[in-house]
Structure formats: C-alpha cells, structure tokens
Amino acid sequence: MQVSVDRDRCCSSGMCVTNAPEVFDQDGRDSLVVLRRTVLLPEQFDDVVLAAELCPGRAITVTGDEPERIGA
Ligand code: SF4
C-alpha cells in the first residue's frame, strides 16, 4: 500500500493532516501537503483512505491492496 499526492491539486485545507497526521504534514511556507511516508503500514490504511475521500482537491491517491482484516 502506497500513497502519493499531487501538490498542484492541493489547496492547503489541512484535512489530510487532521485525519492521518502520521502520514501527512503541511509545508511551513505555503501550507501545501507534504508526505511523511509513502509506504503505508496496515493500520494507517483506513485513515489515509478517509483522508483521500475528504480531500477537497482530490490530491491524494492510494494504491495497492487493502490489508487483510483478521477476524472480519
Ligand atoms: S486534504 Fe488535500 S487539499 Fe487539503 S492539504 Fe491535504 S492534500 Fe491538500
């Protein structure tokens, strides 16, 4: 599972940082999104997918398989 961002589409809303602060940050100069990591841990998947769904600029892309759910 990997995440990428298109900074040209980012409008600096900060929604991604609110939902997944361990994965996303904002540049201190222009507030555009900055990735803390590109390869996701299984426990980060749901928060990052939610961040992608809520991103007003549609700037976040998640690729790869969803992690297996133990006990699901
Ligand atoms: S939620 Fe989207 S538009 Fe807002 S800061 Fe993050 S990447 Fe940029």
SS3 51: helix
pLDDT at residue 67, as a whole number? 80
Q: Which atom of ligand 1 is nearest to the CA of 14?
A: 5
Query: Distance between CA 31 and CA 21 in Å, rounded?
Result: 14
Q: Which atom of ligand 1 is nearest to the CA of 17?
A: 6
The pTM for the full model equals 0.92
pLDDT at residue 70, as a whole number? 67
pLDDT at residue 4, as a whole number? 98
Per-residue pLDDT reduced to its tens digit, 11-53: 999 999 999 999 999 999 999 999 999 999 999 999 999 999 9
Query: Distance between CA 46 and CA 9 in Å, rounded?
Result: 22
Query: Distance between CA 57 and CA 13 in Å, rounded?
Result: 9
Q: Which residues line ligand 1 (CB under 6 A)?
A: 5, 10-16, 24, 33, 55-57, 59-60
Query: Distance between CA 39 and CA 3 in Å, rounded?
Result: 7
CATH topology of domain 2-63: Alpha-Beta Plaits (3.30.70)
Tell me which residue has tokens 């100069």. Answer: 29
